[in-house]
Amino acid sequence: MKRSLFLFILFHPFLSFSQDHIADSLLSLLGKPKPDSVQIVLLNDISSHYGQTGNYDESKKYALRSLELSAAAASKGDSSLTLIKAKAVACNILGNVFDYQGNYPLSLKYHFEALKLHEQILARLKKGDVREKNVKSRVAASYNNIGIVYLEQGDYDAALQNYEKALKLLQEVKDTSQLAGSYINIGNIYGNQGIQDKALENYLIALEFSKRSNNLYYLSNSHACIGLILQMKGNYTKALDHLFASLNISVEIGDEYGAGDAYINLGAVHTKIKKTKEARELYLKGLALSVKNGNKQQMSQEYLGLSLLDSLDGNYGKALLNYKKYVAYRDSVNNDESTKNSVRISMQYDFDKKQAADSVKVAEEKKVEAAELKTEQDKQYSLYGGLVLLLALSAFVLNRFRITRKQKLVIESQKEEVEMQKKIIEEKNKDVLDSIYYARRIQRALLPSERYVNTNLKRLNK
C-alpha cells in the first residue's frame, strides 16, 4: 500500500546518546577486556550511534552481536533484569533499522520481541518498585513502534489498537515526553483517514508536550505533521514555517530519517506553489539521504515527486523513468508477502504471550478450565442422558402401543369368535326349542284336550 506523507514517530534509542560519542571511541572501548554485561551495553551504544548517523548496516551488525552475546550469557545462567533490558534495547534498535529500510516483517519481529522482554521485566518487579514507571514507558514505546509499522502498511485498525494501549500506559505513568509521540501517532491515523481537524488537534497537543519536555525529536515531528495538515488546508505559508522548523531541528540532532521526510514534504509544498526549481533541489537532497541509508520508503516518494516535476517541465521521458522507479520501490516495500509475514509475526506474538500467561497462572487457570469443562460435560451428560431416557421411553411407549394394538386385535378376534359361537349356540338352541315346540304340538295333536276329557268323564258318571 502507498505510504502516507505523514511522518511516523518511532520511540527509538538513536537519539539518546550525545553526538560526542563517536564510533572510534566506542570501538576502542569495545576492544578492552570487560565483563559480558558491559560488552553487551557497549555494543548497543555503538549500534545506536550508527543508527543515529544513518549507517544502518553497521547498526544492524552491532545490535546482532549484542543479541548473540546476550544469548551466550543466558546459556550460562544469567537471567538478570539487566541482561533482559539490554536484549530489549538491541531488539528495539533492530526493529527501527528494519522499519527505516522498509523491511516490515523483520521490523515487527524485533519490536514484538522487545515488547515481550519489557513485559517480562515488568512481571518480575514488585508492586511499587521505583523502576516500574520507566519499564511501563518502554512497554508503551514498543506498542507505539508496532503501531507505526502497521500504519506504514495502511492497517489503521491494528495501528490504532497499539497506539491506544501505549497512550493508556503513558497517561498512567504521566510520561510527558513519550506522550508527545503518542499523540502524534494517533493524529497520523486521523490524518491518513482524511479527518484533518481531529489530526491537527492531536498534533497541537503533541507540540505542547514536546515543548514541556524539551524533546527535540518529537518537537521536530510535531512541526512536520502540523505543516502537512496546513498544506492540505491550503495554508502554504504557515505550512512552510512548520516544515522548515522540522527540517532544521532534524539536522541539528542528526536525525537523517526525519530530515529525509522533511525534504519530501517541503518538495511537495514547493511543487504546489509552482516553485519547481526549489522543489527539485529539495527532492534531490532527500534522495541523496535515502540512497545513503537504503530507505526504500523515502526513495519511492522522492521519485514520485521528481516524476511530477518532470511532467510539469514537459520532460515526459524522464517523468516515465522516475515513475517506474517509484513503482519499483513502492512495490518492493509493500508486497503481499511482507503483509502476510507481518500478520504471522503478530499472531506468533499473541500465541507466545498466551503461552507465557498460561505458564504464570497455570494452576489457577487449569482449575477454572477443569471446573468449566466438568460443568460443560455435566451439561452434555445430562443432555445425552435425557435424550437416551427419552428414546428409551419412546421405545417403551411404542412397544406398549404395539402390544396393546396386538392384544386389541386378539381380543377383537376373540370377541368375533365368541359372537360367532354365540350365534351358533343360539341357532342350536333355536333348533332345540323348535324341536321341543314341535314335539309339544305333536303331543297336543295326539292327546285329547283337557276339556274333552273332562266332558267325557262327566258324561260317563251320569
Averaged over 397-417, what is the pLDDT?
62
For the stretch 228-272, pLDDT in tens is 999 999 999 999 999 999 999 999 998 888 899 999 999 999 999
CB atoms within 10 A of CB 431: 10
Among 66, 64, 49, 67, smallest CA distance to 98 is for 64
Task: Specify the pLDDT at position 398.
Answer: 64
Higher-confidence position of 103 and 411:
103
pLDDT over 80 (residue 423): no
Q: Are 243 and 262 in contact (CB under 8 A)?
A: yes
Task: Specify the pLDDT at position 334.
Answer: 65
Q: Which amino acid is at 177?
A: S
Spatial CB neighbours of 367, under 8 Å, sequence gap ≥ 6: none
Indicate the pLDDT class of residue 435, thresholds 50, 70 and 90.
very low
User: In the structure grid, which three cell numbers stand for residue 143, read together?
Assistant: 506498542
Among 74, 87, 77, smallest CA distance to 43 is for 87
Indicate the pLDDT class of residue 351, thresholds 50, 70 and 90.
very low
Task: Specify the pLDDT at position 128.
Answer: 85
The length of the chain, given as a count of residues: 462
Indicate the pLDDT class of residue 282, thresholds 50, 70 and 90.
very high
Q: Residue ranges of the domains in the chain? A: 8-174, 280-342, 367-451
Higher-confidence position of 173 and 395:
173
User: In the structure grid, which three cell numbers stand for residue 270, read together?
Assistant: 514547493
For the stretch 172-181, pLDDT in tens is 999 888 899 8
Averaged over 89-113, what is the pLDDT?
93
Among 260, 328, 297, 258, smallest CA distance to 151 is for 297
Indicate the pLDDT class of residue 285, thresholds 50, 70 and 90.
very high
Task: Specify the pLDDT at position 267.
Answer: 95
User: 501505549: which residue's cell?
Assistant: 166
Task: Specify the pLDDT at position 102.
Answer: 86
Higher-confidence position of 408 and 9:
408
Higher-confidence position of 449 and 379:
379
Averaged over 70-86, what is the pLDDT?
92
DSSP class of 16:
G
Averaged over 94-115, what is the pLDDT?
93
pLDDT over 70 (residue 210): yes
Higher-confidence position of 1 and 134:
134
Global pTM?
0.57
Indicate the pLDDT class of residue 359, thresholds 50, 70 and 90.
very low
Task: Specify the pLDDT at position 355.
Answer: 41
Q: List Cβ<8 Å contacts ≥24 apart for 74-78.
A: 78/36, 78/37
Percent of the residues in the chain that have a pLDDT greater than 70, as a whole number: 65
- Please say whether the structural domain 8-174 has been given the CATH code 1.25.40.10: yes
Indicate the pLDDT class of residue 3, thresholds 50, 70 and 90.
very low
Q: Mean pLDDT, the chain, as a whole number? A: 78
pLDDT over 70 (residue 88): yes
Residue 55's SS3 state is coil
Task: Specify the pLDDT at position 211.
Answer: 95
User: 515481550: which residue's cell?
Assistant: 116
From residue 460, give the alpha-carbon distance in Å to each of 91, 446, 455: 161, 22, 9
**Greatest mean pLDDT among 18-32, 36-50, 212-226, 404-418:** 212-226
pLDDT over 60 (residue 105): yes
Averaged over 329-346, what is the pLDDT?
63
